[in-house]
Amino acid sequence: MSFTIKDAQGIEGMRLAGRLAAEVLDYLTPFVKPGVTTAELDKLALDFVVNVQGCISATVGYQPPGYPPFPSAICTSVNHVICHGIPNEKPLKKGDIVNIDVTVIKDGWHGDTSRMFLVGETSIAAKRLCQVTYESMWKGIELVRPGVRLGDIGHAIQTYAEAAGYSVVREFCGHGIGQKFHEDPQVLHYGKPGTGMVLQPGMTFTIEPMINQGRREIREMGDGWTIATKDRMLSAQWEHTVLCTETGYEIMTQSAGTPPPPAFVKPQATPTSAVMATTAA
């Protein structure tokens, strides 16, 4: 397994790309309401990425082996869609939940993040799923520091989600990221403590658990991309790109509209080299 360690210049490039990706979600937030189509959201996102931010969409035309080219600047996964939903002309309706996932390229570096959006007033069950999924992501993030193993992160996410009565999708995972969209390591959202790769300072990767309201089994839709729950129950996902620092972690996909961490997340000790680099900049 090969992975890249980012130097100070690379970390700064990732920090910028990550912030820009998060700002796309900030920009889209007021448009996510009943009656809008995900195709309209995609057009807004692409215009913002290209003409306002001066970035490149990492997903338009993206074609890993065995897949057709992805046609859009965002993935929009509504209700029982787990991930990779292709924007379409169907209007969102009150009570829907939707994950919007965006990846941009700035100066060769990738920023990758996603958030859940509630469309109008939703059910208590839908809100709880979105909240527990967010907290599950953070259960993994708060463990990030040198010496921790990836299995520890996956176990923390799995334990928290399953204790709440949900299931964890296993066919898709987080990933290393940098000048390539997908690098090693794979970051599973389930696992056993004390197993997997040992984290090192300078590693950047996504943590992006997909949590299902019902069973974890998936089904692939006919467009070659969209993945949905087999039992058609709701699914939620949140994603941050994370840097392993000398003493902990830094969220690379931060912006003015980024939701705050859950109350259980403890403040990190300072300074870290990454924080000092931010201050110096």
Q: Are 99 and 116 in contact (CB under 8 A)?
A: yes
Pairing mode of beta strands 235-237, 204-207: unpaired
Instruction: Report if residue 189 sits inside a domain.
Output: yes
**Residues of the chain falling short of pLDDT 70:** 1-2, 270-281
Q: Give the whole-number percent of the chain exceeding pLDDT 70.
A: 95
pLDDT in tens, 171-210: 999 999 999 999 999 999 999 999 999 999 999 999 999 9
Q: Are 227 and 218 in contact (CB under 8 A)?
A: yes
Please state, in angstroms and as integers, the Cα–Cα distance from residue 180 to each residue in 53, 73, 209, following that order. 20, 17, 21
Instruction: Report if residue 3 sits inside a domain.
Output: no
The residue whose two tokens read 């796309």 is 24
Instruction: Report if residue 175 sits inside a domain.
Output: yes
Expressed as residue numbers, the domain containing 48 is: 8-280
Read off the CATH number of the domain in which 35 is found.
3.90.230.10
The reported pLDDT for the residue numbered 255 is 98
Instruction: Report if residue 2 sits inside a domain.
Output: no
The reported pLDDT for the residue numbered 3 is 83
Q: How many domains does the chain have?
A: 1
The reported pLDDT for the residue numbered 269 is 74
Instruction: Report if residue 187 sits inside a domain.
Output: yes
